[in-house]
Chain A
Amino acid sequence: DGGITQSPKYLFRKEGQNVTLSCEQNLNHDAMYWYRQDPGQGLRLIYYSQIVNDFQKGDIAEGYSVSREKKESFPLTVTSAQKNPTAFYLCASSMTVNTEAFFGQGTRLTVV
């Protein structure tokens, strides 16, 4: 089955620790995205990548980092510099511009 897979579904982190969220797609999509979702707000773009070895900051990139070493994979690291990391994180991919973005099932990160 083709799709986009995020892992883990739930993640707990102690303050001051970095944590990496996984996102893998087998849709052969060029573009991949990371969004953050908070209650009562729309999705906010953290980072996006149009092609392997290239990525761009979104609207709320501070405290996050990404890599795109393979077309299939776009991991997101939430660093200790992110002041309010508790949120629902969504990864998405799309074939190209102006096509629908397909989402993974999300990772809920909680800082304890």
Chain B
Amino acid sequence: GESVGLHLPTLSVQEGDNSIINCAYSNSASDYFIWYKQESGKGPQFIIDIRSNMDKRQGQRVTVLLNKTVKHLSLQIAATQPGDSAVYFCAENPSFGTYKYIFGTGTRLKVLA
């Protein structure tokens, strides 16, 4: 199987509980942020994004919170399901007009039955 994700921080959550995955970003000038989900052996899948003029955005079962004061991003997953088990990582766009994204190392989410 895919070896990506070895030695990553792991969050274990009981099925049905809510999950909170955190990300500290590096650049105070970053104006766009994305959360991705990556299953073993697959490419990252877009979950939700948020721009710096917002502090909260909701999707289906997911919420992203942005705290620009402390450069912190979080992903909340409601009613976590076994299919949510994956590596989650955040990405930031460090300056307006650039095509370059900076990706975090990721957190492994394990859903316990």
Measured CB to CB, the residues of A under 8 A from B are 6, 31, 33, 35, 37-43, 45, 48, 50, 58, 88, 90, 94, 97-98, 100-106, 108
A-binding segment of B13-21, B54-62, B68-76, B103-111: B103-111
Q: Are A37 and B99 in contact (CB under 8 A)?
A: no
Q: Are A42 and B99 in contact (CB under 8 A)?
A: no
Contacts of B42 in A (CB 8 A): 105-106
Residue of A whose beta carbon sits closest to that of B49: A100
Contact of B2 among A35, A45, A58, A88 (CB under 8 A): A88
Residue of B whose beta carbon sits closest to that of A6: B43
Q: How far is the CA of A103 from the CA of B37 in the complex (A)?
A: 11
Of the listed residues A43, A58, A104, the one surrounded by the most CB atoms of chain B closer than 10 A to its CB is A43
Contact of A97 among B99, B102, B103 (CB under 8 A): B99
B89 is an interface residue with CB less than 8 A from chain A? yes
Q: How far is the CA of A42 from the CA of B89 in the complex (A)?
A: 8
Q: Are B43 and A39 in contact (CB under 8 A)?
A: no
Q: Are B34 and A101 in contact (CB under 8 A)?
A: yes
**Contact A102/B6 with A42-B105, A48-B99, A58-B100 known, Cβ cut-off 8 Å:** no
Q: Are B43 and A105 in contact (CB under 8 A)?
A: yes
Name 10 interchain pairs, CB-CB below 8 A, sorted by A.
A33-B99, A35-B103, A37-B4, A38-B4, A39-B3, A40-B7, A41-B105, A48-B99, A88-B2, A105-B43
Contacts of B7 in A (CB 8 A): 39-40
